Chains A and B, each alone.
Chain A
Amino acid sequence: MKIKGRITEVKGTVVKASGVSGIQMNEMVKVGEMGLIGEVVRVEGDSAYVQVYEFTTGLKPGEPVEGLGSPLSVTLAPGIVGNIYDGLQRPLSTLEGYTISRGYTAEAVDINKTWHFVPVVKPGIKVQGGEKIGYVEETELIRHYIMIPPNVSGTLAYVAPEGDYKVTDQIAEVQDSKKQSVSMLQRWAVRIPRPIKRRLVASEPLITGQRVIDTFFPLAKGGSAAVPGGFGTGKTVLLHQMASWANSRVVVYVGCGERGNEMVELLKTFPKLNDPISGKPIMQKSIMIANTSNMPVAAREASIYVGITLAEYYRDMGYDSLMLADSTSRWAEALREISGRLEEIPAEEGYPSYLASRIASFYERAGYVETLSGDFGSVSIIGAVSPPGGDFTEPVTTHTLRYVKAFWLLDPNLAYSRHYPAVNWVSSYSSYVESLSEWWSLNVSDEFETLRKKALDILFKEESLRNIVRLLGPEVLPEDEKLLLEAANMLKEGFLKQNAYHEVDRYTPPLVQYYLLKLIISFYEKAKEKLTEGATVEEIRSSPLYLEVIRARFNVKSKEDFDAIMKKVMEF
């Protein structure tokens, strides 16, 4: 029986209802004559507080409130990939008109569409939750495995023969104490992580094609990373780059409280950009969730969980999923706003005291795992953080940095001088460097780690020399130190900077990252020799080869391109 009560108070998007005894925490409810959707966030006696996922203008005390009997859940079925959803997994592409009206409902996937199901098991065997029983080709890039829901197990009494089925058709039956029907569609409560067999330690990099990240501050598959940065420092561009080029099988991009046009940009570019590995449009591996900044905050809070659950679902099929959240600060602000309306006692800067634990449990959902079906899969999480005033000591940034294992701090001074991506190479950090170095030496070059260290060494030395230069000018430095400044300049101009809008520069495969590093370090070493032979730094700097090595990032695509410049460097 459904629980029905009525509204007694409306305060922004938080509504108090009475006469709802028996309603559960986090239960979904329908609010008011318009049937707005909300979620129970506090229960007190026979009253409950509901955060409504839509604007509440016009809502009156006395209007009905009805419990829906289940917590906020997502639909998991073929047809998710390539879609754009709002924060509650309602598809945005099937809406009439150009605005979003309140109280609209729609299925997350087309339930009339048929999919060609191919079984991979035979009836009679014992099955556990998570086991793959067949698949459909969801897109050219995603073979969508149909799995026994995690809470179901028993003897497989029936499996549908190969053929075309709707997502709601029965395709299997599991006999336990009772018979349970299985279709291609499952539901999962978003606030509960999907179960796995066990966690493993990741040792493979998530290749992003972004040089400063892959080479200096890498992320492992199944890892977690944050990108804190003030406005305009390049968080979104960096996340878009990751979504475009990362070697993950599935990408879930959550626009959480950010600009509508940024989602349009993804919609516009994803069908045209090809995945560097498969050559197919990356739209075929992407899921987009758009909760733009002008949408109600409660749905913003939910959108993060909807996104991570979708990422976990594809991980459970044995894929590497990448979840990108822009921006987790807007999610935290939504928590703050709801908490404020509930008149909870605030901790720092008005944020609720449970902010840290929410952040921690979100990033905990990243991981490289053995799935219930015995495959290996991962969820990697990258979250943008937007500190007010660019102040990294504020609560969301400080708590996030405690829980992620890599962070790329964006530096406003680099951004102002148009050094993009504005990742500060002194204060950024990755705990994955060591565990991934073996991959680089086996798959790219055994010299890579040495080059990487040399490059960092140059950059750090420059940092300290810069303090002298700032006070006394570069002319006071001896020639070899002046040359070191030039080497640092080459690393910045020719390696660290990366133009997201340049056809070649925007994506650099690992091998080319090695080439570029090798060119710059070799040039520097060669130049040092020339210095001892009496050449001046000014001469070295004005040689055409200096510019050619710097511009190599726009031109080097293959070993031949590299060899041609390398030859000139060796003859320099």
Chain B
Amino acid sequence: MSGSITFSSVQSIRGSLMVIKTNGKLGYEELVEIELSNGEKRLGRSLQVSEDIAVVEVFEGTQGLSPRDVKVRFLGRPLELPVSNELLGRIFDGLGRPIDNMPEPVGSEELDINGKILNPYKREYPDEFIQTGVSVIDGMLSMVRGQKLPIFSGSGLPHDMLAAQIARQATIAKGEEFAVVFAAIGVPADTAIFFRRELEESGALKRSVLFLNLAEDPAVERIVTPRVALTAAEYLAFEEGYHVLAILTDMTNYGEALREISMMREEVPSRRGYPGYLYTDLATIFERSGRITGRKGSLTQLPILSMPADDITHPIPDLTAYITEGQIVLGKELYHKGIYPPVNVLMSLSRLMKDGVGEGKTRADHKELSDQLYNSYSKAMEIRSLAEIVGEEGIPESSKKYLQFADAFEKKFIKQDPYENRDIDTTLNIAWDVLSILPESEWTNISEKSKKVYMSVVQKRNL
């Protein structure tokens, strides 16, 4: 802990912001410690500094604070997290302080939670397939190591179940180390308990770090929770060589906390009251993922966010999808049909799939097959909605096959048990089964080469 320690007084308090006297001694984004007369201590960070005063956000909120009876101390440093291997197996609060009744881990270094900008030139292009064992993901939305791929969900949908299934099933080659960094951002306690139990039961807890800012915890703290978690994740990935999966839930709560502070600062809002810098701010979180040339580990992000009113154009999902490398969208329609995972395939996308699949990675027929399934399923959805209006008589004979195809695609390919782990061969073979409901004249994306793969799949089955 370096820097001068100065005491100061508070001028005014407004929401979770405080204006304090500084005499120019406080740097931008540096920490202050606020001590109440009863000895309680809170942490704050400057948002704006000038020669005499500074605006400070108080992470634990300002309830019970009175300008007269608090002391403010300048810590002379930004918010930092002590990092080391000892983070694994530990549980922290949203600011990175242990809450598991164990001592503060000994850090080999203290890192600024804002991280440093990765030099794009030193990034390695992510192209290593992660088999999650979930057909709709592996087959249609393949994930690669170092990707940032969020789950967009709605209330009551099984996003936690799906994220936990991915964390459990994501396979790793022998000799490699896997770690999970979990950040709860304003979610109910039972969500955190659910993830903890899932990690425990799969034996991954000792390979996990948990950062918990729960619904009852202060909202301002949410601004830093994902950054603290990613600081741990980056360290484990790029310095310790782990393949890290970072689950951040729920990023919508993060966005709302950001809006709250922006409103208190009386900034000019852009859409729906969110600050104009929401995109940039989210990018400083989501871009903290990837692989680095010459380093062993990788950092894959699986953020979860609930779409307010199921609206994908809401600023938080919208800007998230502008930053992440695709999105897995869950939908009520499939959920009500009893299909788990209820992934809306057409709204979903994995942008890094193209280089992570194919010969030598998954299978030579993978790309064409998934292209074809996308094409056919989207055509089937058009026919399905048409059939709902004009009735099955109103559609040509050749279109009726599409209705069968769509049903099979949903019930055989997408649908699976939360504890069922399908390997990529199984996934692609089911895909062929489903596609073969359509006559070959409809396979506009399938080359002769892939048809041969298909034939061999069929032959193997018949043996």
Contact = CB atoms under 8 A, between A and B. Distances in A.
B28 A292 contact: no
A98 B349 CA distance: 29
B394 A472 contact: yes
B135 to A, nearest CB: 18
Contact of A99 (B25, B28, B118, B367): B118
Interface stretch (B153-161, B180-188, B189-197, B370-378): B370-378
A293 interface: yes
B441 A8 contact: no
Interface in B296-326: 313-315, 318-319, 321-323, 325-326
A98 B313 contact: no
B236 interface: no
Nearest to A59: B28
Given A11-B48, A416-B378, A418-B374, A257 B280 contact: yes
B287 interface: yes
Given A232-B321, A293-B287, A473-B395, A333 B27 contact: no
B447 interface: yes
A350 B124 CA distance: 37
Contacts of A473: 386, 389-391, 394-395
Interface string B265-276: 001111100001
A267 B51 contact: no
Interface stretch (A68-76, A143-151, A384-392, A430-438): A384-392
Interface in A322-354: 330, 333, 336-337, 340, 346, 349-350
Contact of B313 (A16, A390, A554): A390
Given A9-B50, A62-B51, A231 B354 contact: no
A92 interface: yes
Contacts of A257: 279-280, 283
A255 B26 CA distance: 35
Interface stretch (A50-58, A172-180, A205-213, A241-249): A50-58
Interface stretch (B109-117, B170-178, B415-423): B109-117
Contacts of A538: 396-398
A493 B133 CA distance: 32
A61 B27 CA distance: 7
Contact of A58 (B29, B50, B323): B29
A558 interface: no
Contact of B121 (A267, A471, A493, A501): A267
A7 B193 CA distance: 48
Contact of A10 (B48, B268, B326, B351): B48
A333 B276 contact: yes
Given A98-B295, A261-B123, A417-B346, A388 B271 contact: yes
A57 B48 CA distance: 10
Interface in A194-243: 230-232
A539 to B, nearest CB: 11
Interface string A83-96: 01000000011010
Contact of A259 (B314, B323, B393): B323
Interface string A23-47: 0000000000000000000000000
Contact of B28 (A10, A259, A337): A10
Given A9-B50, A257-B280, A475 B396 contact: yes
Interface string A532-565: 0000001001101011001100100000000000
B290 A261 contact: yes
B48 A297 contact: no
A97 B117 CA distance: 11
B128 interface: no
Given A57-B28, A264-B124, A294 B292 contact: no
B236 to A, nearest CB: 15
A268 interface: yes
Contacts of A554: 447
B458 interface: no
Contacts of A56: 28-29
A61 B49 contact: yes
Contacts of B290: 260-261
B358 to A, nearest CB: 10
B214 to A, nearest CB: 28
Contacts of B269: 350
A389 B279 CA distance: 12
Contacts of B123: 260-261, 263-264
B438 to A, nearest CB: 13
B22 to A, nearest CB: 8
Given A340-B267, A470-B389, A55 B114 contact: yes
A463 B283 CA distance: 39
B284 interface: yes
B30 A58 contact: yes
A493 B375 CA distance: 10
B240 to A, nearest CB: 15
A337 B276 contact: yes
Given A98-B292, A100-B117, A349-B270, A474 B28 contact: no
Contacts of A499: 371
Contacts of A390: 313, 318
A245 to B, nearest CB: 18
Contacts of B441: 541-542, 544, 546-547
A95 B123 CA distance: 13
A546 B322 CA distance: 38
A263 B287 CA distance: 13
A236 to B, nearest CB: 9
Contacts of B125: 261, 264-265, 268
18 contacts: A57-B27, A60-B25, A98-B292, A100-B118, A231-B322, A232-B321, A259-B287, A260-B123, A264-B120, A292-B117, A292-B287, A293-B283, A293-B284, A294-B283, A418-B346, A473-B394, A474-B395, A475-B393
Interface of B: 22, 24-30, 47-51, 78, 112, 114, 116-126, 146, 238, 267-271, 276-277, 279-280, 283-284, 287-288, 290, 292-293, 295, 313-315, 318-319, 321-323, 325-327, 346-347, 349, 351-352, 354, 367, 371, 374-375, 378-379, 382, 386, 389-391, 393-398, 441, 444, 447
Interface of A: 8-12, 16, 55-62, 84, 92-93, 95, 97-101, 230-232, 255, 257, 259-261, 263-265, 267-268, 290, 292-295, 297, 330, 333, 336-337, 340, 346, 349-350, 386, 388-391, 416-418, 469-476, 493, 499, 501, 538, 541-542, 544, 546-547, 550-551, 554
Given A100-B117, A293-B283, 11 more contacts: A8-B50, A11-B47, A59-B49, A92-B119, A93-B121, A232-B326, A260-B290, A264-B121, A297-B277, A538-B396, A544-B441
6 closest cross-chain pairs (CB), A and B: A473-B394, A293-B283, A99-B116, A473-B390, A417-B378, A389-B313
